[in-house]
Chain A
Amino acid sequence: QQPVQSPQAVILREGEDAVINCSSSKALYSVHWYRQKHGEAPVFLMILLKGGEQKGHEKISASFNEKKQQSSLYLTASQLSYSGTYFCGTDRGRGNKLVFGAGTILRVKS
């Protein structure tokens, strides 16, 4: 079942912050975040595992509420390079498959 992402789109000015949310109706083992620019492959940002373990880039932070099956990606002091579509992928721990949300389009303006 596809996770629900919100908002669908957001426009920021450089230096502003944004939060992208991802929620599932099913129990999750992990949540993965990727950013995709137009016509390119998705790029890994972060993984959050049940139990609190995280793995990702220094400038990206995220949270995973296991009880609510929700994850949030925090983008602070946004830069023009942050523009793209952000996807969350959820893993229920059954054979390592990811189900991706519909995506959140982020546009950072100068």
Chain B
Amino acid sequence: GAVVSQHPSWVICKSGTSVKIECRSLDFQATTMFWYRQFPKQSLMLMATSNEGSKATYEQGVEKDKFLINHASLTLSTLTVTSAHPEDSSFYICSASPYRITYNEQFFGPGTRLTVL
């Protein structure tokens, strides 16, 4: 149980295009989903927290207009990188929690590697 999927697993796009990444909780309802960004050999940096049916909460320094997050249902959250540039190339990982207050583990998706040319 507690499986989280991400799609696509990797994507290569041209500079200026937009890319959508999906995160799904397959066997539980996720009241909260988190989006992280990870550069090579670095830690996981939280970008935003999304709760189903409400606006995402972005971390300081993360542009909400560039990284659009939608958590329309209890099993799906999407991250859209708008007008992507090479500096947006990274490993994007989502995680999901079945609890509104996370005193329990977060379940991570397999990640999406984005390369912007």
Contact = CB atoms under 8 A, between A and B. Distances in A.
A44 B49 CA distance: 19
A102 to B, nearest CB: 5
Contacts of A100: 43-46
B29 interface: no
Interface stretch (A60-68, A71-79, A90-98): A90-98
B8 interface: no
A96 B102 contact: yes
Q: How large is the interface on B (under 10, 10 to 19, 20 to 34, 35 or more residues)?
A: 20 to 34
A108 interface: no
Contacts of A44: 105-108
A34 B99 CA distance: 19
A95 B49 contact: yes
Given A96-B32, A101-B43, A102-B42, A49 B103 contact: yes
B34 to A, nearest CB: 8
Contact of B111 (A40, A47, A49, A102): A40
Contacts of B107: 44
Contacts of A89: 44
A22 to B, nearest CB: 12
Given A30-B103, A49-B103, A91-B102, A42 B108 contact: yes
A98 B49 CA distance: 10
Interface of A: 2, 29-30, 32, 34, 39-44, 47, 49, 55, 87, 89, 91, 95-103
